[in-house]
Amino acid sequence: MAERGVRRGLELMRQWGSGVVAQGLVDAYPLHPQDPTVEITLDDVRRWLGIHLESAEIADILHRLEFQVEVDGDRLRATAPDHRLDIATGITGVADLMEEIARIYGYERIPETHMADSLPPQRGNPSLEMEERMRDLLVSLGLQEVVTYRMTAPEREARLLPPGVPPDPRPYVRLENAISSDKVVLRHSLLNSLLEVMERNARLRPRQALFEIGPVFLVQEEGELPLEEGRLVIALSGPRHLPAWQGADTGPMDFYDFKGVLEGLVAGLHLSGAVSYEPTEHPSFHPGKCARLTVENRAIGVMGELHPLVHERYELPETPVLAADLDLQALLGAVAERYDVEVVPAYPPVLEDLALVVDEDLPAERVAQAIRQAGGKAVIDLRLFDVYRGEQVGAGKKSLAYSLTYQDPERTLTDAEVAKVRQRIIQRLERDLQARIRS
């Protein structure tokens, strides 16, 4: 159509402007478009539209639309005119032709019939289904999904590191036709993309709870295509709740609010192994407020509060920013295909509190693990509800108070049975963790 337009313009210049047209055209475009040719049969029309048409009728319809049609018995080859850029090839082109035939034939003339064709085989897509399930869980936990550009610039991602920390040495996948100076490479980090969204939204809303699921791109030594690794990133910032007429907790969210979100996610996914949070260090996160999430001793990712020096490199409010960067494949690989469910117990539980004095550097998770192991199936729930430090417990010590729930699904536990389990737990804590009961 470009050539046709040029020739028409030259002819008008000759007629109206007394121009002299030089012979020939100069065309520097290397890919001359080919008019698509689509092959259909009478059976295709009968199957797709549910109507019976002869070859001559179909050819007449397409001729009226300026298609070039070759008829060979029950088979027709239609070549689209050059102005029909919407006509494709292959199976998509067949669908395009069916639409044209139905439109000219008349939708109102097509009879209503029940589908009598066989359904294609239904195959599940477990990874995609798990991703959708993960999205639903995060939304139910109060988060909002965002989708960001996959292009960035190395200096933009360098903001994830405090000053003085060397940048990521891995090479970037560079774009040959970058659309702007700040989108010249494919990203290495999904966390930076999410923080940039928070940065733009910070002036509009005080509370942000966001997540994104997407790939990062790493150069491979072999092959031309990069390695795409799926990541899940989550970020929270701002007050715990927005002000309301009934009153609300407007204090800033902290590490434990964020840990609760992750606990809700892993509980909803029903991971196949034991989940633990271990102290770790990461240049992007606050020292002492960073943990590694593991499942059966396999690292899934890191979580914590953003490093103060990294926080300063983004235009964010002064309230803490809590974030996590998780390996999507490792997380989905730990999801159990099937998991056990239990009936609602008919027998009453026994509730009890247990306060312990332990060393300051002993993680509360180790204490909880010891309680569960010693209590066995009798302890169905365990919750840490208080941490105390002060003169009453001594220097270098802390008090951890747990709420325990004892229950048997088949009978009512007696006081003597509960006391026996409690004593077994205390002995285990004293022997393995040098804990003592706080009086």
Report residue 167 as tokens. Answer: 């940048």
Spatial neighbors of 92 by CB under 8 A, at least 6 apart, are none
Report whether pLDDT(147) > 80: yes
Q: What is the pLDDT of residues 54-79, one digit of tens each?
A: 999 999 999 999 999 999 999 999 99
Number of other residues whose CB lies within 10 A of the CB of residue 296 = 11
Q: Which residue ranges form the domains of the chain, and what is each CATH number?
A: 31-109 (3.30.56.10), 127-333 (3.30.930.10), 350-437 (3.30.70.380)
Q: Side chain identity at 268, as an amino acid letter?
A: G
pLDDT value, residue 55:
94
Q: What is the pLDDT of residues 319-365, one digit of tens each?
A: 999 999 999 999 998 988 888 888 888 899 999 999 999 999 888 88
Q: End-to-end distance of the chain based on CA atoms, in angstroms?
A: 91
pLDDT value, residue 90:
87
pLDDT value, residue 303:
94
pLDDT value, residue 213:
96
Pick from 25-29, 150-154, 168-172, 266-270: least confident: 25-29
Q: What is the pLDDT of residues 167-226, one digit of tens each?
A: 888 899 999 888 898 899 999 999 999 999 999 999 888 999 999 999 999 998 887 889
Average pLDDT over residues 271-279: 84
- With bands split at pLDDT 50, 70 and 90, how would you rate the model's confidence at 160? very high
For the residues of 9-54, what is the DSSP string, one character each? Answer: HHHHHHHHH---PPSS-----S------EEEEEHHHHHHHHS----
pLDDT value, residue 379:
93
- With bands split at pLDDT 50, 70 and 90, how would you rate the model's confidence at 297? confident
- What is the C-alpha separation between 291 and 274, in angstroms, rounded? 16
SS3 for 351? strand
What percentage of residues in the chain have a pLDDT greater than 90? Answer: 66
Report whether pLDDT(123) > 90: no
Q: What is the pLDDT of residues 223-273, one digit of tens each?
A: 788 999 999 999 999 998 888 888 888 889 998 899 999 999 999 999 887
pLDDT value, residue 373:
92
Quote the mean pLDDT of the chain: 91
Report whether pLDDT(13) > 80: yes
Report whether pLDDT(82) > 90: no
Report whether pLDDT(308) > 90: yes
Number of other residues whose CB lies within 10 A of the CB of residue 12 = 11
Spatial neighbors of 274 by CB under 8 A, at least 6 apart, are 295, 296
pLDDT value, residue 167:
85
Answer whether 103's CB lies under 8 Å from 65's CB. Answer: no
Rg of the chain on CA atoms, in Å: 33
pLDDT value, residue 340:
84
Strand residues in 183-297 grouped as ranges (E): 185-186, 208-218, 227-237, 275-279, 285-295
User: In 3D, which of 151, 184, 190, 172 has the Cα closest to residue 227?
Assistant: 172
pLDDT value, residue 309:
95
- What is the C-alpha separation between 66 and 26, in angstroms, rounded? 28
Q: What is the pLDDT of residues 35-49, one digit of tens each?
A: 899 999 999 999 899
Report residue 13 as tokens. Answer: 């210049």
Q: How far is CA 292 from CA 17, 89, 279, 402, in A?
A: 77, 51, 6, 23
pLDDT value, residue 28:
82
User: In 3D, which of 247, 246, 216, 244 has the Cα closest to residue 229?
Assistant: 216
- What is the C-alpha separation between 188 and 231, in angstroms, rounded? 10
Report whether pLDDT(370) > 90: yes
- With bands split at pLDDT 50, 70 and 90, how would you rate the model's confidence at 429? very high
Q: What is the largest CA-CA distance in the chain?
A: 114
What percentage of residues in the chain have a pLDDT greater than 70? Answer: 100
Q: What is the pLDDT of residues 383-404, one digit of tens each?
A: 999 999 988 888 999 999 999 9
